[in-house]
Structure 1
């Protein structure tokens, strides 16, 4: 399967189900989406597959990885890899992992817009973190608890209010920050 074909399928899914949170590729199941907290099968005319085979998921995984040797090494050595993937209308955090001798893929749809502290309903004290000039801040929590969104909101405040150099080390890069008052580099 070529990148253009995967992009086409992902675009079609995102246009047909704009509120999806995840796209799942699992051997023995059809293509699936997470919609309002429930997994639903999807049968596209372009990909009328009743049940994905190991070959399907491996080809999709390798296409998503592209020529990124580090990710292929991680997948073979550790049994999983994480990456970001973008199409015209959406960005995804992708986890490819080996389970029961086959590859599975979970693609979490990421918001395009960087959320604000208010939109995340965080306490006002969080804004004070963005004013700190020195120190060490830890943002911790369980998977899906909003760590990346919280950090993105804090960094966006800094980017809006201070002329400084912001460097992030992320694996994968989730929110894309533009240069505003600060110079923003994401690795």
Structure 2
């Protein structure tokens, strides 16, 4: 099985939020908040090949200079938010699965107070929480609500 097939299979598994990849190391994944090890190993140079295939020249230069880059990646029908980085053990990346569709505020079970708050024309809303707690999904659902109900654009 290729590394991409392993990543896709892991991502489809229930409860998988993050997939950690590092050259010459086994794939790691976060399931229900616990980091686990997968039997598939990442070959040497995999991260660099991924970056070369996916990034523009200026993004590659930024990665070389800063040791860090963020981008999105699609593997089949799956979408990921990726942070690639340089570490003492070599290049690595963390891939976060992104939902293919944005749930509604109702589907997320957010309280009516959220809808009322985003309908106000003034004010500040802070969305905070731990990694993987649903901040981006909540914000996306709020934007979806506004786009579906108001002609702001």
In the alignment, which of 149, 155, 159 is matched to residue 147 of structure 2? 159
Unpaired segments ≥5 residues, structure 2: none
Match of 1:146 among 111, 131, 134: 134
Name the residue aligned to 1:34.
Answer: 30
SS of structure 1 residue aligned to 2:112: coil
SS of equivalent residue, structure 2 residue 18: strand
Could you tell me the TM-score, scaled by structure 2's length?
0.78
Where does residue 51 of structure 2 map in the other structure? 61
Question: Partners of 1:13 and 1:146 in 2: how far apart?
Answer: 20
Query: Root-mean-square deviation (CA), in Å?
Result: 2.7
Hey, which of these two has a bigger chunk of helix by percent? 2
Deviation per CA, 1:111-169, whole angstroms, max 9, x where unpaired?
Answer: 1221233343433211013322355544344433332112111111111111231xxxx
Higher strand proportion = 2
The answer on 1:117 being equivalent to 2:105 is yes
Runs of 4 or more above 6 Å deviation: none
Are the counterparts in 1 of residues 20 and 94 from structure 2 also a CA contact under 8 Å?
A: yes
For residues 144 and 67 of structure 1, what CA distance do their matches in structure 2 show?
25
Question: Scaled by the length of structure 1, what TM-score is found?
Answer: 0.66
Where structure 1 has 5 or more consecutive residues not aligned to the other structure, the ranges are 44-48, 166-187
